[in-house]
Amino acid sequence: MGRFVARRLLQMIPVFIGTTLLIFLMVYSLPGDPIKALFGSKAADPATVARLRHQYGLDKPLLTQYWDYLTGLFKGDFGQSFTGRPVADLMSDAFPVTIRLALLSFAIEVVLGVSLGMLTGLKRGKLVDQLVLILTLVVVSIPVFVIGFLTQFTLGMKWKLITPTVQDSMNVGQLFVPAMVLAALSLAYVTRLTRTTVVENLRADFMRTAVAKGLPRRRVLGVHLMRNSLIPVVTFLGTDLGMLMGGAIVTEGIFNVQGVGNTLFKSIQTSEGPTVVGIVTVLVLVYLVSSLVVDLLYAVLDPRIRYA
């Protein structure tokens, strides 16, 4: 186990360097000059431009810039955005919002998805099962922005149950509807996945044994069925949490949630190189760690899997 974790952590280094380099190169090869853009429609003073370029290190070769950035990172310095604010500052504004949103939709996904999956799995072929099946198919086949705008229009404008956009991004109550929209797709997947594994495990020999042992139905389902059925679901949920943490550009955009997705989108629009690279770097790390946790969790849940 220890060796496995060590190996996985070591593997993260090349992945980390590779992804950041790639993002760095892509962002800085975008058309348009971010420094000139700072002047807006005014004519840029060449001396000032040169000074700013030097200040942000943009006059150095790209690889040197990357190297400076990496060394800065290891000192905990994410650099400065072109507006003068430290990138770390920007992120400490955006991440708490996204973490709230992500955890909220994760909770919805887990609770609703797993219970619906269990229900439909146990009632296979019955009316509930058919209804939920149709519903999940609908959700899966509709793009998220359609669901987002529809919810915003019906709940926010027609029925006025919520404000159309989120006023306070740190308010969990206001984040609930965006979280629902964000969770919808994964919720459908979790439901289907849970249903499939439940149906499969219901037929398993060990379930028959559990009944033959005279265990109460609650225990047969709650311990013997659940414990086996949740293994693939947990794997999916783990990677999904990584995705949710990456922020939801579309959902955050629709509901004006000031989270990572929104910040990232704005930064790309304004060619804010340091901000984009900084955020993506953190996201890469989050994703790497969450997939490692999933792998470890997998071994905990299924004793047949042992890492050496």
Closer residue to other proteins (CB): 44 or 301 = 301
Count, residues near other proteins per rule CB under 8 A: 22
Of 30, 24, 41, 21, which is closest to residue 271 (Cα–Cα)? Answer: 30
Give the nearest distance from C-beta 230 to other proteins in angstroms. 10
Give the nearest distance from C-beta 297 to other proteins in angstroms. 13
* Binding window for other proteins (CB under 8 A); candidates: 45-53, 78-86, 97-105, 298-306: 298-306
Interface positions, 92-151, toward other proteins (CB under 8 A): none
State which of residues 42, 146, 303, 308 lies at the interface with other proteins (CB under 8 A): 303
Calpha distance 94→275 (Å, rounded):
12
DSSP conformation letters of the chain: -HHHHHHHHHHHHHHHHHHHHHHHHHHHTSSS-HHHHHTTTSPPPHHHHHHHHHHTTTTS-HHHHHHHHHHHHHTT---B-TTS-BHHHHHHHHHHHHHHHHHHHHHHHHHHHHHHHHHHHHTTTSHHHHHHHHHHHHHHHS-HHHHHHHHIIIIIIIS-SS-SS-S-TT-HHHHHHHHHHHHHHHHHHHHHHHHHHHHHHHTSHHHHHHHHTT--HHHIIIIIIHHHHHHHHHHHHHHHHHHHHT--HHHHHHHT--SHHHHHHHHHHTT-HHHHHHHHHHHHHHHHHHHHHHHHHHHHH-TT----
Site string for other proteins, 190-229 (x = CB under 8 A): --------------xxx-xxxxxxxxx--x---xx--xx-
State which of residues 266, 285, 301, 307 lies at the interface with other proteins (CB under 8 A): 301
Closer residue to other proteins (CB): 33 or 302 = 302
Give the nearest distance from C-beta 200 to other proteins in angstroms. 13
* Binding window for other proteins (CB under 8 A); candidates: 7-15, 76-84, 166-174, 296-304: 296-304
Give the nearest distance from C-beta 71 to other proteins in angstroms. 47
Interface positions, 231-250, toward other proteins (CB under 8 A): 231
Closer residue to other proteins (CB): 84 or 216 = 216
Closer residue to other proteins (CB): 179 or 230 = 230
Give the nearest distance from C-beta 217 to other proteins in angstroms. 8
The token pair at 229 is 């059925």
Give the nearest distance from C-beta 218 to other proteins in angstroms. 11
Interface positions, 254-293, toward other proteins (CB under 8 A): none
Interacting residues with other proteins (CB under 8 A): 204-206, 208-216, 219, 223-224, 227-228, 231, 301-304
